[in-house]
């Protein structure tokens, strides 16, 4: 679905590349979590997927990035946006309408979706996000979590093959964050959509993602299944990525030779590992 080949990028106003020599393949239908310290280059990777780089942010682009075989440099932003839907971190800046229904309709109308499909797409998107009851609500009356779901609904109504979200839970409480991730994981699984999420909350990523990508200094330091990446919790901490305490505990048991199983992604897996050690 998505391939980075020796990708490097320097913003025009920058002195050095913010992303360096990235080679990475993201399979079709994969839920990918990207994390790393602030300024590590996480968002730049997503900008290369949705075409914001280089079409909106000019600079020095090296290597290649392809989405469904489309070279993101040679393909127009309009054509890329038909395959890749994006939700930015500042949700309020992304909203263009005052009513929930109109927000979802805006994209459908702009992309020329046939009139006889519009109602079904609108209803399905709202239902998938669990906000059908908000259809006629004013957007400025919604909570942060509700706005986030409206933003996602407006994108999935377009049925993109790839969905990119930049820190979608940055301003949400733990319960709302978990709810958004549950919805995204379910959507990816049921619709075969490739979902890429930039997020600081590695516990949520580890629980829901099929693949974790750790970025440090513009380079991909680790990439693989969550269990494989979390085995490096001590190194991740040095990179500014705080793994769950349950993960660190199990990794200490592994390092001491008391436990030979996989790294724990959550408390339940850590508890199972501890029971095995005690037994």
Q: Find the CATH number of the domain harbouring 219.
A: 3.40.50.300
Beta bridge partners of residue 1, listed in sequence order: none
* 93, part of any domain: yes
Looking at residue 20, what is its pLDDT? 95
Secondary element (H or E) of residue 187: helix 174-191
**Whole-model pTM?**
0.88
Whose structure tokens read 């839907």? 85
Q: What per-residue confidence (pLDDT) applies to 184?
A: 86
Give the separation between CA 30 and CA 40, rounded to whole angstroms.
Answer: 22
Per-residue pLDDT of the chain (279 residues; tens, 9 = 90+): 899 999 999 999 888 999 999 999 999 999 999 999 888 999 999 999 999 999 999 899 999 999 999 999 999 998 998 899 998 877 888 888 999 999 999 989 988 889 999 999 999 999 988 899 999 999 999 988 888 889 889 999 999 999 999 988 877 788 888 888 888 888 888 888 999 999 988 888 988 999 999 999 999 999 999 989 999 988 998 888 888 888 988 999 988 999 888 888 888 888 999 998 987
- The answer to whether residue 249 sits within a structural domain is no
Dist CA 100 CA 194 (whole Å): 25
CB neighbourhood size of 141 (10 A): 10
258 touches 276 (CB < 8 A): no
Residue 257 token pair: 């030779």
- Output the pLDDT for position 203: 87
Quick check: is 268 in a domain? Answer: no
Q: Which two tokens stand for residue 79?
A: 């054509």
Tokens 């990523």 sit on residue: 205
Q: What is the pLDDT of residue 44?
A: 93
Tokens 């199972």 correspond to 272
Q: Work out how many domains the chain is built from and give that number.
A: 1
Taking Cα atoms as reference points, which of 198, 196, 192, 106 lies closest to residue 155? 106
- Supply the range of the domain harboring residue 218: 2-243
Assigned domain for 88 exists: yes
Q: What is the distance between the alpha carbons of residues 156 and 184, in angstroms, rounded to a whole number?
A: 10
> Who's near 16: CB < 8 A, 6+ residues apart?
10
Q: What is the pLDDT of residue 52?
A: 92
Six token digits for residue 178: 């978990």
- pLDDT for position 30: 93
Residue 53 pLDDT: 93
Q: Which residues of 248-259 are buried (b: 16+ CB within 10 A; e: fewer)?
A: bbbbebbeeeeb
CB neighbours of 157 closer than 8 A, spacing ≥ 6? 104, 107, 108, 121, 122, 124, 125
272 falls within a domain? no
- Three-class SS of residue 256? coil
Residue 248 lies in a domain: no
Helix (H, G, I), strand (E, B) or coil at 279: coil
Residue 217 lies in a domain: yes
Q: What is the pLDDT of residue 78?
A: 87
As a whole number of angstroms, the distance between CA 80 and CA 65 comes to 12
Neighbours of 71 (CB within 10 A): 11
**Assigned domain for 258 exists:** no
Residue at token pair 């949700």: 91
């Amino acid at each position: 679905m998505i391939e980075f080949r020796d990708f490097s990028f320097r913003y025009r106003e920058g002195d050095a590349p913010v992303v360096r020599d990235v080679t990475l393949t993201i399979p079709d239908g994969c839920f990918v979590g990207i994390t790393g310290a602030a300024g590590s280059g996480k968002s730049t990777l997503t900008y290369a997927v949705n075409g914001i780089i280089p079409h909106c942010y000019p600079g020095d682009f090296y290597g290649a990035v392809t989405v469904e075989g489309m070279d993101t440099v040679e393909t127009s932003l309009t054509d890329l946006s038909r395959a890749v839907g994006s939700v930015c971190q500042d949700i309020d800046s992304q909203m263009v309408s005052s009513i929930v229904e109109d927000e979802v309709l805006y994209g459908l109308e702009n992309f020329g979706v046939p009139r006889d499909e519009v109602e079904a797409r609108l209803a399905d998107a709202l239902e998938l996000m669990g906000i059908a009851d908000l259809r006629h609500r004013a957007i400025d009356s919604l909570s942060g979590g509700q706005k986030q779901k409206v933003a996602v609904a407006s994108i999935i109504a377009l049925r993109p093959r790839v969905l990119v979200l930049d820190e979608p839970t940055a301003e949400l409480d733990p319960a709302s964050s978990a709810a958004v991730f549950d919805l995204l994981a379910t959507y990816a699984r049921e619709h075969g959509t490739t979902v890429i999420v930039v997020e600081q909350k590695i516990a949520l990523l580890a629980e829901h993602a099929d693949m974790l990508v750790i970025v440090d200094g513009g380079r991909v330091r680790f990439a693989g299944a969550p269990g494989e990446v979390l085995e490096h919790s001590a190194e991740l901490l040095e990179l500014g990525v705080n793994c769950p305490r349950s993960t660190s505990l199990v990794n200490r048991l592994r390092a001491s030779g008391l436990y030979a199983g996989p790294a724990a992604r959550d408390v339940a897996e850590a508890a199972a590992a501890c029971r095995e050690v005690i037994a």
